[in-house]
Structure 1
Amino acid sequence: MAKSAKSPASFEAALAQLEDIIQAMESGDIPLEAALASYKQGVELIKFCQGKLADAEQQLKILENDELKPLELPDGQ
């Protein structure tokens, strides 16, 4: 089930991938090595999602203080 290490296209895509991983792991039908690779991918997806949520939270804090500033994302995101 392990996929490429590139970042997902969006927060929603990452959540969908996480749901797929969870479903596959809960089924218990995947071999140990695949389960470990899926777990590792899931951890990376969680980090990606946490980063996106932190960025959104920062944007909201800026907007709440009437300091409208563009959110600067790293290249490619």
Structure 2
Amino acid sequence: MPKTVKQPENFEAGFAELEALIAQLESGNLALEASLASWQRGQELLQYCEGKLADAERQLKVLEGDRLQTLKVDGDQA
């Protein structure tokens, strides 16, 4: 029976978890098994975050008539 992957609550939570995993891996203080599990979870989080960003980009294209526009914010000189 395949293991169910716990999805983050949202993009920000997934990104924060990914950053924490990277810091743990970079510390070099994890045992081999823990490092492999962290790497695997990191790959899952990366896919999740990339998917959320791709969804947002597709939504922006729809909102802009299939053409991405530069977002103008108050104070921009354009």
- Provide the C-alpha distance between the structure 2 equivalents of 1:36 and 1:5, rounded to a whole number of angstroms: 16
- Provide the C-alpha distance between the structure 2 equivalents of 1:21 and 1:6, rounded to a whole number of angstroms: 15
Give the paired residue count: 63
Provide the TM-score with structure 1 as the length reference. 0.77
Does 2:21 match 1:15?
Answer: no
Query: Map of 1:25-44 to 2, 5 A cutoff?
Result: 25-44=25-44
RMSD, aligned α-carbons:
1.5
Provide the TM-score with structure 2 as the length reference. 0.76
Structure scoring higher RCO (CA < 8 A, sep ≥ 6) equals 1
State the 1:5 CA deviation.
2.7
Give every structure 1 segment of 4 or more consecutive aligned residues whose post-TM-superposition deviation is greater than 6 Å: none
Cross-structure match for 1:58: 58
| Counterpart residue identity of residue 62, structure 2 | I
Cross-structure match for 2:72: none
Instruction: Give aligned-pair identity as a percent.
Output: 56
Q: Secondary structure at the match of 1:6?
A: coil
In structure 1, the gaps of 5 or more residues are 67-77
Q: Secondary structure at the match of 1:58?
A: helix
In structure 2, the gaps of 5 or more residues are 67-78
Structure whose alpha-carbon radius of gyration is higher: 2
| Counterpart residue identity of residue 35, structure 2 | A
